Amino acid sequence: MGSEMRRKIFFLMSVLFFCYSFNSELLEKKAEERKNKIGDFGFMVMSPKTGKVFFVYHPELIYQESFSSGSLIKALALLAYSKKYPLDPNQVFHCNGFKTFEDPDKICWYGPGHGDINLIEAIAYSCNSYFYEVIVKNKITQKDLIAVLDELAVPSLFKNTLLPEQEFQKAAVGLGIAIPVKPFDLFKAFVSFFNGGYLYNEKGEIEKWVSYPSDWVEIMRQGMRGAFLYGTAKKIFQKNKSLPLMIKTGTGASSKNGVYDWRKTIAWAIAFYPSENPELALLSVVRKGRGGEEAAFTIEEFLSLILNPNRILK
């Protein structure tokens, strides 16, 4: 029996235990409600096992537009690092917080600083300082990160221009507008992290297979689970503690006519349900977001409706 047939049989068996509702009318209604509240956004939910897209809202934004990847790029930076150095989830670094983006020692988004944290906590909190000092600086190069983008079939204008060293290092932790990507391209990469390495195209066909280090996958899983339990998306856990979710949020810098626009940010979130052997992969991108948390709440609202379609929309 071929691997493709085994995957399909496993998926058919799994739906015996998980029941989801993808009522397009209800989901479209929820999307319009959400748009009235947060403005323009895109949303997608798919099967990480088969690549089947169950629902997509604002497909032009999801498939065609490009946005700064924000902290989601940290996962790819860590993958580039893992190809050169052993991963140590227990390595501790002290985050000093934020002073100015011109001071590499204090460039974290969290002003007071995260204090002493390890790698898994750095993923959960999306700590700029940890990734800058431990994972990126003097460790990986722009060429290394481009190689990962190519391996994951993620096109980006980032590949066309050689950045000054410090500008690249900041970009590799999610700062600035140097790494624009289309949401679906980054989403399919994240999906492949947790489905055995299968990259699906827009039609749900296998585009390629990627081999990931097992320790890197487990660290990402624990870090994204931590983001839900105590990190950047902890307010979702506080709202709905029954969700076995793992999630990565990001806040991308916005641009206007190719120039950085500090007045606006792009809110990102990619989530998997359940966190063990995920059946659903969800993506939310908010054009004028107020931090990744806004995209995370969008995912929570849609997921709650998918799991409980009989609830009254509010």
pLDDT digits (tens, 9 = 90+) for 155-167: 998 988 899 999 9
Whether residue 314 is contained in a domain is answered as no
Q: Which domain holds residue 282?
A: 20-307
Mean local confidence (pLDDT), 163-174: 95
- Select from 179, 134, 176, 137 the least CA-distant residue to 158: 179
Beta strands, E only, 47-159: 53-57, 67-68, 93-95, 115-117
Condensed to tens digits (0 to 9), the pLDDT of residues 47-97 reads 999 999 999 999 999 999 999 999 999 999 999 999 999 999 999 999 999
In whole angstroms, give the CA distance from residue 21 to residue 275: 19
Q: How far apart are CA 271 and CA 246, in angstroms?
A: 6
In a domain, 9, yes or no: no
CA dist 62 and 284 (Å) reads: 9
CA–CA gap between residue 200 and residue 206 (Å, rounded): 5
Mean pLDDT to the nearest integer, 245-255:
92
Residue 230 contacts residue 124 (beta carbons within 8 Å): yes
At residue 17 the predicted structure's pLDDT band, cuts being 50, 70 and 90, is very low
- Give the HSE-up count for residue 197: Cα atoms under 13 Å, Cβ half-sphere: 10
CATH of the domain at 258: 3.40.710.10
Say if 14 falls within a structural domain. no
pLDDT the model gives residue 254: 81
> What pLDDT, on the 0 to 100 scale, is given for residue 13?
42
223 is written with which tokens?
């870090």
- Predicted TM-score of the model (pTM): 0.90
Beta-bridge partners for 284: 43, 269
Spatial CA neighbour of 28 closest among 59, 61, 57: 57
Residue 4 lies in a domain: no
Domain membership flag for residue 139: yes
For 257-305, the pLDDT digits (tens) are 666 665 689 999 999 999 999 999 999 999 988 889 999 999 999 999 9
Termini Cα distance of the chain: 48
> Would you say the C-alpha torsion 59, 236, 135, 102 has a positive or negative sign?
positive
Q: Residue 11 domain-assigned?
A: no
Q: Structural domain tally of the chain?
A: 1
What pLDDT is recorded for position 2? 58
Residue 12 lies in a domain: no
Has residue 8 been placed in a domain? no
Percent of the chain with pLDDT over 70: 88
Residue 15's φ and ψ, nearest 5 degrees, are -70, -10
